[in-house]
Amino acid sequence: MSAKIIDGKAFAAKIREQVAGHVAALKSEHQITPGLSVVLVGEDPASQVYVRSKGKQTTEVGMNSYEHKLDAATSEADLLALIDQLNADPAVHGILVQLPLPSHLNEDLVINSIAPEKDVDGFHISNVGLLGTDQKSMVPCTPLGCLMMLRDHHGSLSGLDAVVIGRSNIVGKPMVQLLLNDSCTVTVAHSRTKNLPDVVRRADIVVAAVGRAQMVPGDWIKPGATVMDVGINRIDKPEGGTRLVGDVDYESCAAVAGAITPVPGGVGPMTIACLLANTVTACCRTNGVAEPEGLTV
């Protein structure tokens, strides 16, 4: 195995430490405690785990965590009323509505009802537009985490060939935009892409955000390329039980790549760390305090 393993867990711990330092300074110098509200509708088990983990990490860095758990049958009007209330609450600097929402709720409508400056997931249409025009915005957490690790590994990304596999609004598209803003030559691949192996073989940077276990084999990877594996998939182990794997076949890709993120312990931990970073950034912006360097782009 030749690739450098990019340790997202250690990187995330470093980000959390920086966040905690900024939170302490906001408290002592400005008497402000950043607050993050997480709204969970229904009882999806994976969402419950994510929300618990977000709440725990939020309080660990010294911020206030507010959890709003609503019944699966909550009406759109009631959810929008709660978001209005959080938008108006000066103690709340970040609002996150855990996705997916139950099917009777319109996700776009709900996300776009969050005040853009409190939209720490970066999914509001205003933030999407700002990122698309390379202006200051709230940046979606998973692609932000990937970009931080890529910049840390490469220094400048200028002129590198990047292929993003996946075009979702939460990962693929914002990742494309961030790489483009950093002057990569970007190709975005998806389920209709022809000759995907050849497209991927051109890339200095491969970001896999597909949701298909171990789809990308090592012989698609250009020797020395950097592989960011966003996928989180659970597969059966031959001896029984299950384990988590990414969207790339780790063993064969690590044998060819220059650097690679493992699953678990790569992109995943960075996502929550970036959520905390976005909350501090949002808090500084709304309070007119100079925002910390290195926690966003």
Active site residue 98: yes
CA–CA separation, 226 vs 151, rounded Å?
11
Beta strands 226-229 and 161-165 are unpaired
- Residues numbered 218-277 forming contacts with ligand NDP, rule: CB under 6 A: 230-233, 267-268, 271
Q: Is 200 in the site for ligand NDP (CB under 6 A)?
A: no
> In 68-160, which residue ranges form alpha helices assigned H by DSSP?
76-88, 107-111, 125-132, 141-154
Binding-site member from 210, 228, 260, 276 for ligand NDP (CB under 6 A)? 210
SS3 of residue 27 by DSSP = helix
- Residues numbered 127-156 forming contacts with ligand NDP, rule: CB under 6 A: 142
> Which one of the listed residues 18, 118, 121, 214 is annotated catalytic?
121
Q: Residue 97 burial (CB < 10 Å; 0-12/13-18/19+)?
A: buried
SS3 of residue 126 by DSSP = helix
- Alpha carbon 284 to its chain's center: 20
Binding-site member from 167, 201, 202, 285 for ligand NDP (CB under 6 A)? 167
Window of 34-42, 150-158, 191-199, 274-282 that interacts with ligand NDP by CB under 6 A:
191-199
Q: Which residue is nearest to ligand NDP (CB)?
A: 168
Active site residue 84: no
> Which one of the listed residues 18, 54, 204, 247 is annotated catalytic?
54
- The count of other CB atoms within 10 Å of the CB of residue 198 is 10
Contact 89, 64 (CB under 8 A): no
Q: How far apart are CB 274 and ligand NDP at their closest, in Å?
A: 9
CA–CA separation, 165 vs 186, rounded Å?
11
SS3 of residue 130 by DSSP = helix
Side chain identity at residue 206, one-letter code: V
- CB closer to ligand NDP, 105 vs 284: 105
Q: How far apart are CB 190 and ligand NDP at their closest, in Å?
A: 4
Q: Is 171 in the site for ligand NDP (CB under 6 A)?
A: yes
Q: How far apart are CB 263 and ligand NDP at their closest, in Å?
A: 8
Greatest extent of the chain over all pairs of C-alpha atoms, in Å? 56
Window of 123-131, 152-160, 187-195, 283-291 that interacts with ligand NDP by CB under 6 A:
187-195
Q: How far apart are CB 146 and ligand NDP at their closest, in Å?
A: 9
Window of 19-27, 53-61, 62-70, 208-216 that interacts with ligand NDP by CB under 6 A:
208-216
CA–CA separation, 89 vs 243, rounded Å?
41
Which residues does the annotation mark as catalytic? 54, 98, 121
User: Interface residues with ligand NDP (CB under 6 A)?
Assistant: 142, 165-168, 170-172, 189-193, 196, 209-212, 230-233, 267-268, 271
